[in-house]
Amino acid sequence: MPRPLGFTTLRILAAIRDGSAYGLDIVASTGLASGTVYPALGRLKKGGLVSSRWEDQRQAEREGRPRRRYYALTAEGARALVEGTSRTADVLAVLSPGSAGAVR
């Protein structure tokens, strides 16, 4: 049984799902430190939750910059994100006031 995904990892996966495709984009949209995002991407790739591909050289040249490495969710990554999100939602529900778990 693999360890459940942490909150930070879920944010990165969600950022990729929502269209952030390369490291800087994810850093900017999540507000996480670059020193957190890049190693996390490496781990996710190793775990098969994201895949990466190099941008087309001609596309990059048209935009006047070096080619980027783009990340995308794999099927497994998408599934892990859904699972993780619903588990997080459960946790939040327990913690929020007015729920059964709240202290009266």
Partner 1 sequence: MTLGRASRGARTALRAVSFLVPADRRREWLEEWGAELASLEQARTTGRAREYPGVAWFVAGALPHAVWIRTEGWTMESVAQDVRYAARVLRRAPGFTAVAALTLALGIGANAAIFSLVNGLMLRPPAGIARPEHIVLLGRSYDSAPRWDSWSWPAIRLIAGEARAFSGVAAYSGGEFVLGRGDDVEPVAGHWVNGEYFGVLGVRPALGRLLGPGDAVAPGAHAVVVLSQALWLRRFGGDPGVVGRTLAVGSQPYEIVGVAPEGFTGPDALGAPPEMWVSAMQRTLGDGALPFDEWGASWLYAFARLREGVTYEQAVAAMDAASLQLRAASDRNEDVRVVLAPGIGLAPEERERSRGASLLLGAIAVLVLLLTCANVGNLFLTRATARATEVGVRKALGASRGRLTRQLVTEGMVLAAAATMLSVPLVFGGSGILSMLFPVPVAVSLAPDLRVYLFLGAVGLAAGLLSGTAPAWTAARRDVARTLREGGTTGGASRTRLRDTLVVGQLAISLGLVSGAALLGRSVLNAWSADPGFDPDGMVVGSINLRSTGRYDPAAAVAFQDRLLAGLEGLPGVAAVALANQAPMLGNHTRSSVNPAERPEGPESGIEAEYIVVTPGYFETLGIPLLRGRTFGPAAAEPEPVVVVNDALARLFWPGQDPLGRELVRRGVTFRVVGVVADVQMRTLRDRGRPGVYYAYHQEPQTLLVAHLRTTGPTPTAAEALRRAVASVDPEVPVTGITDLREGLARSLAETRTLSLLVTTFAGLALVISLVGLYGLISHGVTQRSREMGIRVALGAASGTLARLVMARALALAVLGTALGLGVAVALGIALRGLLYGVGPASPGVLGPVSALLLGAALLAAWIPARRAARVDVMVSLRD
| Binding stretches for partner 1 (CB under 8 A) | 22-25, 27-28, 33-39, 42-43, 46, 60, 65-69
Closest to partner 1 by CB, 17 vs 68, is: 68
**In the bound complex, what is the minimum distance in angstroms from residue 35's beta carbon to partner 1?**
4
List, in sequence order, every residue forming a beta bridge with 70; answer none if it has no partner: 53
> What's the closest the beta carbon of residue 46 comes to partner 1, in angstroms?
7
Question: CB count, 10 Å around CB of 44?
Answer: 23
Cβ neighbours of residue 75 closer than 8 Å, sequence gap 6 or more: none
CB of 15 to partner 1, least distance (A): 13
Pick 28 or 95: Cβ nearer partner 1 = 28
Query: What is the three-class DSSP state of 97?
Result: coil
